[in-house]
Amino acid sequence: MLKRQEMRVIIEILAGIVLSAIITAIAISTGYFIINKNGYANFDVNLLGLNLYRIQNYGVSGEPIITNIMFLGVILSILLVIIIELLVATNKRGKKQ
């Protein structure tokens, strides 16, 4: 059986991946909105300097840049684990005093 902290870290990592998927989907949807509104021939969806998706105006296809999308997921997962574990540690210290 997993300990409480191990289970919490696993949940935090999964939450980071889900959060990354949601942010990526919103960014790509915004990119399609921009390309349709302005009539660009092509458009690169960037988030924090990372090129996530290339949209071509002909057809309904785009090209995902998988390595950058995975990198975003890893970074968000790590940040989420660090932030939540720091909050939990701070709360535990506050209760002991």
**Taking the domains of the chain in order of start, what are their residue ranges?**
12-89
Q: Per residue in 8-51, pLDDT tens?
A: 999 999 999 999 999 999 999 999 999 889 988 889 999 989 99
Q: Is the pLDDT of residue 59 over 80?
A: no
**C-alpha–C-alpha distance, residues 26 and 20, integer Å:** 10
Q: Per residue in 61-91, pLDDT tens?
A: 789 999 999 999 999 999 999 999 999 999 8
Predicted pLDDT of residue 60: 67
Close Cβ partners of 52 (under 8 Å, ≥ 6 residues apart) = 24, 27, 28, 45, 46, 64, 65, 68, 69, 72
Does the pTM exceed 0.85? no
Comparing CA positions, the residue from 2, 3, 5, 14 lying closest to residue 92 is 5
- Calculate ∠ Cα 12-16-20, nearest 5°: 170
